[in-house]
Structure 1
Amino acid sequence: MNEHYELDDTTIASSNHSSNSPVEGKGEEFHSYTWTITPEQAKERLDKRVHESLSMDISRTQIQMWIKDGHVLVNGAAVKSNYKCAAGDIVELTMPEPESVDIVAENIPLDVYYEDSDVIVINKPRGLVVHPAPGHTSGTVVNALMYHCKDLSGINGELRPGIVHRIDKDTSGLLMAAKNDKAHVSLAEQLKAHTVLRKYIALVHGNIPHDQGTIEAPIGRDEQDRKMYTVTERNSKHAVTHFKVLERFGDATLVELQLETGRTHQIRVHMKYIGHPLVGDPMYSRGTRGLKMNGQALHAQTLGFVHPTSGETLQFQAPLPNDMEELLKSIRNR
């Protein structure tokens, strides 16, 4: 059986709907971008429009700083972040050179699945934070990569060199990072175009009755708790997750999930939305009794992309971590 979940909670037949929306325009060099505002984009805030149009994982706060410093022009003139775009406006972004990185390289072991002069793919263990943040400046994947690689991309500024996409601290699995700016842009644009293959394995509470389906519901910050995300139409982004049931245990279901988009906490939010939160999720499975795990039972098992230089399609698969395997073994032996 197929199931398609939408925001209004109406059930319709599953489809192959896709929402590819490539960047409207791009300059000749990786650090220069030019867009023409369409009638549909008119009246949007400038910072929001630039954030939506960029392929790279750059925060809206960073974009606001660039606008303030004059790195973003509208029709050749500097404006404020809250400038309301008009149809036909020419928006130009010239990224400043990345600042010197003041991150301590740390000899943290990495499970490297692939590495060359352009890209590195690692299998991240559960509990390891991907990038430094205020209050958490050491012991991260970036600290480890700084030690291991010496030559990471600096396109994301000083706190997240090389990081093209993220997985949560308590999610294990495959993660790619760029080792130069050309590779960074190529990988980021593949993510933007939804051509990167990302499949996850998760154990969720409850019995999902449908063999496969699609969850299509926009995700934004939870206005009651800013650390969390939720399905909402307010200040949200389009989000699509495809799922397939692998095994049922009565009070739990093992599923394969494929991301079409990559919003923060997307799988965790979407599974909670359809009534099947992830086992062990400390944020979205609160109050759920029964099966437990130290961190959500979510593993980024499969990662596939086109190599930035050779054009070869690469695909990698990482086995489930021991804690998930042990949990599944105990469930099967009940």
Structure 2
Amino acid sequence: MTKNYKLVIDDEKGRLDKVIAEKITDLSRTKIKELVNDKNILVNNKAEKVSYKVQSGDVIDVTIPPVKPLSLEAENLHLDIVYEDSDVIVVNKPQGMVVHPSAGHPDHTLVNGLLYHTRDLADSPEGFRPGIVHRIDKDTSGLLMIAKNDKARESLEKQLAEKINKREYLAIVHGNFEVKNGVINAPIGRNPNNRKKMAVNPKGKAAVTHFTVLEQFKNYSLVKCVLETGRTHQIRVHMKYIGHPLAGDPLYGPKKTLSGHGQFLHAKTLGFYQPSTNEWLEFSAPLPTIFEKQLENLRQEMKQ
């Protein structure tokens, strides 16, 4: 059901998104920005930017449309299928694509694309993530293994639990290192001060990341990260924890960073045992163009 609010500014001051968030407490600043971009928030019957400074007498109309139901419809998203057999699919997910439908992303997800590619996907307990056995963040690119049947799902999930998969990532991070490699062993849980973030938390779940420094530039480094566990935002949280947040990370990184479309993090290498034959399969995906260009820019800076 659509919700409508009419706010009249008296002595409130500040940005449009800040003032609305204070008056409608169940709206996040992110949601307000989305409503502004969709012209569902008008100031004096006129669309304004979130940075608009409210003035006394302003009338703000806020329209919150009904939540779009989750879609499990097939969509031709032109997926990059790296490998496929009767049990598994390996897909190279582009940056910007969400893995499965959720309240904020009801469609255009990897799952929607997979359903267009094949109807042979393992069932999932939740119903909205068929075939999915592990995830990477929306703005992280790279390889994912997909289960086409329940036997394959059980096998791949067991391999993840027993830590026998190979999952290697490349990341551009802030700062330079005095060591060439290391291990980050720090539990990860919800950030008690911000439920949208994860953090190193003694009450969290065990999390282990191995890292190797591959190149160093002016103020940045290229590192390889190998996951031993697979916690939400693990690499992003762990690298920030040791003082090297990912470049471009809007959630955990500094504002002054490399320009791009989110964190420079790519799931480059994926290895696992084929569920039926037990054959070891290993795949590698090239870096996205924007990642390669940023590396080239950093290398050129070093020559100047």
Fold shared by both chains (TM-score > 0.5): yes
Contact kept in structure 2, 1:212 and 1:244, CA below 8 Å: yes
For residue 292 of structure 2, what is the amino acid of its counterpart?
A: E
Deviation at 1:291, TM superposition (A): 2.6
- Counterparts of residues 181-220 of structure 1 (less than 5 Å): 181-220=150-189
- Tell me the percent identity: 57
- Decide which of 274, 284, 294 is 1:317's aligned counterpart: 284
- Decide which of 158, 165, 172 is 2:134's aligned counterpart: 165
Query: Could you tell me the TM-score, scaled by structure 2's length?
Result: 0.75
Residue 169 of structure 2 corresponds to residue 231 of structure 1? no
Counterpart Cα distance in 1 of 2:93 and 2:71: 23
Larger Rg: 2
Residue of structure 1 in register with 2:233 after alignment: 265
Contact kept in structure 2, 1:155 and 1:184, CA below 8 Å: no
Deviating beyond 2 angstroms after TM superposition, the runs of 4 or more aligned structure 1 residues are 290-293
Q: For each residue in 1:211-260, what CA deviation from the matched residue of structure 2 results, as whole angstroms up to 9, or x when unmatched?
A: 001000000000111010000112x1000000001000130010000000
How big is the alpha-carbon RMSD for the aligned residues of Structure 1 and Structure 2?
Answer: 1.2
- Decide which of 124, 129, 138 is 1:155's aligned counterpart: 124
Contact kept in structure 1, 2:96 and 2:261, CA below 8 Å: no
Counterpart Cα distance in 1 of 2:235 and 2:144: 16
- Decide which of 280, 284, 296 is 2:263's aligned counterpart: 296
Residue 94 of structure 2 corresponds to residue 125 of structure 1? yes
Residue of structure 1 in register with 2:220 after alignment: 252
Could you list the runs of 5+ residues in structure 1 that have no partner in the other structure?
1-100
Deviation at 1:292, TM superposition (A): 2.6
Could you list the runs of 5+ residues in structure 2 that have no partner in the other structure?
1-69
For residue 230 of structure 2, what is the amino acid of its counterpart?
A: G
Residue of structure 2 in register with 1:9 after alignment: none
Deviation at 1:137, TM superposition (A): 1.4
Greater mean deviation of Cα atoms: 278-287 or 150-159 = 150-159
For residue 327 of structure 1, what is the amino acid of its counterpart?
A: Q
Query: Could you tell me the TM-score, scaled by structure 1's length?
Result: 0.68
Counterpart Cα distance in 2 of 1:209 and 1:254: 14
- Counterparts of residues 1-334 of structure 1 (less than 5 Å): 103-234=72-203, 236-287=204-255, 289-334=256-301
Counterpart Cα distance in 2 of 1:140 and 1:124: 10
Counterpart Cα distance in 1 of 2:107 and 2:293: 30
Number of aligned residue pairs: 232
Counterpart Cα distance in 2 of 1:245 and 1:326: 19
Q: For each residue in 1:271-304, what CA deviation from the matched residue of structure 2 results, as whole angstroms up to 9, or x when unmatched?
A: 00000000000100033x2433221000000000
For residue 197 of structure 2, what is the amino acid of its counterpart?
A: M
Higher relative contact order (CA 8 A, sep 6+): 1
